[in-house]
Structure 1
């Protein structure tokens, strides 16, 4: 699955889309908005600046942990191998030892859970 980056519009229902596709789109939209980074940079194949790379890792983590998207599907969407996604998830999990970072992730998780209810 590749994420369309040409518009900021939410994805429209498509009977052939997998359930996790919507979760990934929600995560990308949230991280793009919260970190002020265009979605096209979040899914770009290059590493980009450190803040963009970290935002990408956070998006991968949230897509997997909160939305339940598989590592393989996330890797495909971001143009990376599932082992890279696994590494990113482990890195972000380790960073949660920092209370400030953990609070920020809790806030992002709550925002994503709100989108699940609507």
Structure 2
């Protein structure tokens, strides 16, 4: 009997937010989204980008690690490991500045946690 991959139903909002973060990281890191989202063994650059994306979802949206894991279709331990590794790496000033820049971009698009969805201006 073949085992199927563990998948949990994820809300469209969570999926959209995770996809947004992956798109932003993809653009900034110069990697295709497919490389970051790939199943199986990732290249070192794609693995770092995926960890950054999971960490950004964790801090930008104030999601628990389990929710990050579901949105990124990984197990909770993988998400937790990504968050710890990137948090520990923030001692690097260049990485810290990059993470602040990316988190700022995310907040510019979706607002601050707890703000709810930003209003869409009416056409003039």
TM-score, normalised by the number of residues in structure 1: 0.76
Is 1:116 matched with 2:89?
Answer: no
Deviations 1:59-92 (A, max 9, x none): 0000111023442333234332111101110110
**5+ long unaligned stretches in structure 1:** 3-15
C-alpha distance in structure 1 between counterparts of 2:11 and 2:74, whole Å? 20
Q: Equivalent residue for 1:24?
A: 18
In structure 2, the residue corresponding to 1:41 is in which secondary structure?
helix
Deviates more, 1:37-46 or 1:49-58: 37-46
Larger radius of gyration: 2
Q: Equivalent residue for 1:38?
A: 32
RMSD, aligned CA: 2.2
Q: Equivalent residue for 1:5?
A: none
Deviations 1:27-86 (A, max 9, x none): 011011111212222111223211110000000000111023442333234332111101
| Change in 2 beyond 3 A, CA 1:77/1:41 | farther
| Change in 2 beyond 3 A, CA 1:69/1:43 | farther
In structure 1, the residue corresponding to 2:62 is in which secondary structure?
coil
In structure 2, the residue corresponding to 1:79 is in which secondary structure?
coil
Q: Equivalent residue for 2:90?
A: 96
Q: 1:55 aligns with which of 42, 49, 55?
A: 49
TM-score, normalised by the number of residues in structure 2: 0.73
